[in-house]
Amino acid sequence: MATTYTLISSVTVGAGGAANIEFTSIPATYTDLVLKISPRLDSTNGTVYIDYNSTTSNQSWRRLFNSSGTAGSDNSTRQLMTAVESTFTANTFGSTEIYIPNYASSNYKSSSVDTVQENNSSTNLQALIANLWSDTAAITAIRIVPFSGNFVQYSTAYLYGISNA
């Protein structure tokens, strides 16, 4: 791992669960951001939204996926990733990495998402997602919000800063 890879903050969900997780006051001192998330939900839907600066506006995405053995692609609004669902293999958590280049620039913010729902079953989902926030503001906050339910205990999120020098 490059020496420019710096942990900014991290969080582990406690016994009560969490409706969402927010990283606030993100410093503008890095070039890129990486958010590594290992989530599990108490819902049978694994969709998790990603909002910047507490807004759901001006978002879009395109996705390549394999859902339970069927490959496909789709697109829509509101940036997203996936989490392990409540009916999936017990005590397993998802694996997701979100890479956000030039997060403090005055250009629109594209990001790539590599996301996997872990499940010891033929029912599962892997996806590569190109998210876009069509906004020129610097990203100072990131919120991850389940479409349904809560993050369960031991779900984790780690936010790293990447410097290009």
At closest approach, how far in Å is the CB of 8 from another protein? Answer: 5
* Closer Cβ to another protein, 14 or 72, answer by number: 14
Q: Which of 156, 138, 163 is nearest to 6 (CA)?
A: 163
Site for another protein in 66-125 (CB under 8 A): none
Q: How far is the CB of 30 from another protein (least distance, A)?
A: 11
Measuring CA to CA, which residue among 163, 153, 158, 157 is closest to residue 41? 153
Q: What is the phi/psi pair of residue 7, to 5°? A: -70, 120
Rg (the chain; Cα; Å) = 15
**Span interacting with another protein, options 37-45, 79-87, 95-103, 121-129, rule CB under 8 A:** 37-45
Which residues would be at the binding site for another protein (CB under 8 A)?
8-11, 13-14, 16, 18-27, 43-45, 56, 145, 147-148, 150, 157, 159
